Structure 1
Amino acid sequence: MVISVDTGNKMIKTEHYEFNSGIDVLDTIPGENDEVIEFGGKYYRTTNRRISYMEDKTEDDRYYILTLIAIAKELDTMKKEAVLAPNELIEIELLVGLPPAHYGKYRKKFQQYFQRDGKVVGFKYGGTSYQILIHEVKVYVQAYAAYCVLAARRHLTELPKVLVIDIGGFTVDYMILRYGRLEKEHVDSLESGVICLYGRIRAAIRQKYSIALDEEDIDNIILGKNTGYMQELKERVREVTIGYVTELLGTFRELGIDFRTTQTVFMGGGAILVSEIIKVVWERFKGEYFIINDPKANAKGYKLQFQIEAKERED
């Protein structure tokens, strides 16, 4: 069974689910309706309080538990659709990803972290006990995986130059492709994701209004939802966000990338969040761009790449 999990700094995504990269450890089981995983004698529940940024996500077990929850959600769906037989040992090929800048450094470590020496792992979720064996872990490059999903749909491989910008929680991954082939000198990650934007906004609002905004508050204000906050405060949030996007796009000019000579593709949860601001700021940069409104694109891309590789082996 193949399961794809995008372990983001802000959100965990599978092909079908998305939830915050935050976790609470509980000594006793909470209410019956809570989505809780029982593993290793403890209970774990997702929370809106995300884990602080970790470059190396293998330093402790939190991302392993979050990935187990992602796997459990996918298995729970299969169980409801009667795809799984009761009490069977489920062998899993796990597909995950890393930012371009971290891929070479952490790929093998990521594989070992999830594979757990090929041991059978037991856990309970939604009242059902599961036994899984992660017998293979494939690690892909974020952003490129999402590009693979879009390439055929948007005919991107026919274009002479495509710039992919994936705005995530902590990193902004980018790459240039010419007729579908990567330019290795332009494949990298910037530590400029929306978590950095949150820090700037919180500081600005705290200094002026003595109000502590959380990340969900900030998301809702940027998205124009009804939050109950004063208009002056919302305008300040917008002002800081415009500054963040302007600075981010300016960074690419410093890297020698001219938006007027490329088709620019924005993707990732961060790009979706600031999509209206990108539209405002883009006026000064020109060129053609579009935004992919699918935060699960990387997880889908891992699966697509895996399928292509399997087909090539068969041929």
Structure 2
Amino acid sequence: NDNYYLLTLAAIAEEIKHRKVERKTEVILAVGLPLSSFGREKQGFREYLLRKEQPVRFLYESELYEITIKDVKLFPQGYSALALHPEYLKNEPSVLLVDIGGWTVDLMRLDNAVPNAATCRSLELGVIRCIDETAEQVRRNTGLSVTETQIERVLRGESCSMAEEARRIIQESGRKYIERILSAVTESGFDLRAVPTVFMGGGSAILKRHVTAQDAICRPVFIEDVHANATGYERIVEQMWAR
């Protein structure tokens, strides 16, 4: 539907305000898709964002914007973020990337720093599912309706005032969620002990609390910046533009 498109226009308006440029301007969008569906969906996604009705005129916070989307550059999620951290790939023949997003956990193995498309998997184990299940469990056991933000803070190990029983349930739910992810990754055919694993996305901070190299479960590296993919897309387009 149009929800993502409308949010994209709002994001463009925010970028224009942040950069203090004219509200009538040209834009190049740098966006991403999971590598598992990249080839199948990239053309449709590009057409969805690069619409025929140009320029796009819209009101945002009572200000009129006139945007001409000149081009849409598409990149694979995860791999673009790794482009900012070549040190994680240096001298490693194989690296596993685990991108823990809101709805899915996307897996991709890189061999000699090149994505191996045959290894891409997308698991429906995103953080939103964990948060929803945790909120329901807290409500069922304690009668409390904790918020998503409260759950996220507890899962990340940050301070948050709440009943101790609710906190215990959230922490236990977080441990079980990480166990489900690691089990699902193994069931997908990846040996976490044999190959260095880069965890990124919103769920990486949760996983970092429960998994360390000393556990001998895997050889983890963490990219905790939730904007890593977007930053990677932008950096790549800037390099393309410079050339």
Could you tell me the TM-score, scaled by structure 2's length?
0.90
**CA deviation vs aligned residue, 1:230-285 (integer Å, no higher than 9, x gap):** 212211111111011011111121122111211111111121244212349x7251
Indicate if the aligned counterparts of 1:94 and 1:136 stay in contact, CA closer than 8 A: yes
Deviation at 1:180, TM superposition (A): 0.3
Helix, strand or coil for the counterpart of 1:198? helix
Helix, strand or coil for the counterpart of 1:117? coil
Q: Does 1:306 align with 2:237?
A: yes
Q: Distance in 2 between matches of 1:227 and 1:253?
A: 33
| Aligned 1:131-142 pairs, distance under 5 A | 131-142=66-77
Paired residues in the alignment total 243
RMSD over aligned Cα atoms:
2.1
Deviation at 1:309, TM superposition (A): 4.3
* Percent of paired sites with the same residue: 32
| Aligned 1:27-38 pairs, distance under 5 A | none
Q: Which moved more, 1:211-220 or 1:293-302?
A: 211-220
Q: Does 1:194 align with 2:127?
A: yes
Query: Amino acid of the residue matched to residue 109 of structure 1?
Result: G
| Aligned 1:143-292 pairs, distance under 5 A | 143-151=78-86, 154-279=87-212, 283=215, 285=217, 287-292=218-223
**CA deviation vs aligned residue, 1:39-58 (integer Å, no higher than 9, x gap):** xxxxxxxxxxxxxxxxxxxx
The equivalent residue for 1:74 is 15
Query: Amino acid of the residue matched to residue 76 of structure 2?
Result: V
Q: Distance in 2 between matches of 1:273 and 1:68?
A: 31
Q: Distance in 1 between matches of 2:124 and 2:210?
A: 20
**CA deviation vs aligned residue, 1:14-57 (integer Å, no higher than 9, x gap):** xxxxxxxxxxxxxxxxxxxxxxxxxxxxxxxxxxxxxxxxxxxx
Helix, strand or coil for the counterpart of 1:269? coil
Helix, strand or coil for the counterpart of 1:130? strand
Q: Distance in 1 between matches of 2:140 and 2:185?
A: 30
Helix, strand or coil for the counterpart of 2:189? coil
Deviation at 1:111, TM superposition (A): 1.1
Indicate if the aligned counterparts of 2:157 and 2:209 stay in contact, CA closer than 8 A: no
Indicate if the aligned counterparts of 1:266 and 1:289 stay in contact, CA closer than 8 A: yes
Could you tell me the TM-score, scaled by structure 1's length?
0.71
| Aligned 1:77-116 pairs, distance under 5 A | 77-79=18-20, 84=21, 86=22, 89-116=24-51
Structure 1: segments with no counterpart, 5+ residues = 1-59
Q: Does 1:62 align with 2:3?
A: yes
Indicate if the aligned counterparts of 1:265 and 1:289 stay in contact, CA closer than 8 A: yes
Query: Amino acid of the residue matched to residue 62 of structure 1?
Result: N
Query: Amino acid of the residue matched to residue 47 of structure 2?
Result: Q
Q: Distance in 2 between matches of 1:155 and 1:273?
A: 20
Indicate if the aligned counterparts of 2:174 and 2:206 stay in contact, CA closer than 8 A: no
Q: Does 1:117 align with 2:52?
A: yes
Q: Does 1:295 align with 2:226?
A: yes
Indicate if the aligned counterparts of 1:118 and 1:133 stay in contact, CA closer than 8 A: no
The equivalent residue for 1:4 is none
Q: Distance in 2 between matches of 1:222 and 1:260?
A: 25
Q: Distance in 2 between matches of 1:141 and 1:96?
A: 9
Query: Amino acid of the residue matched to residue 184 of structure 2?
Result: T
Q: Distance in 1 between matches of 2:118 and 2:240?
A: 25
Helix, strand or coil for the counterpart of 2:211? helix
Query: Amino acid of the residue matched to residue 121 of structure 1?
Result: V
Query: Amino acid of the residue matched to residue 131 of structure 1?
Result: E
Query: Amino acid of the residue matched to residue 81 of structure 2?
Result: A
The equivalent residue for 1:25 is none
Helix, strand or coil for the counterpart of 1:97? strand
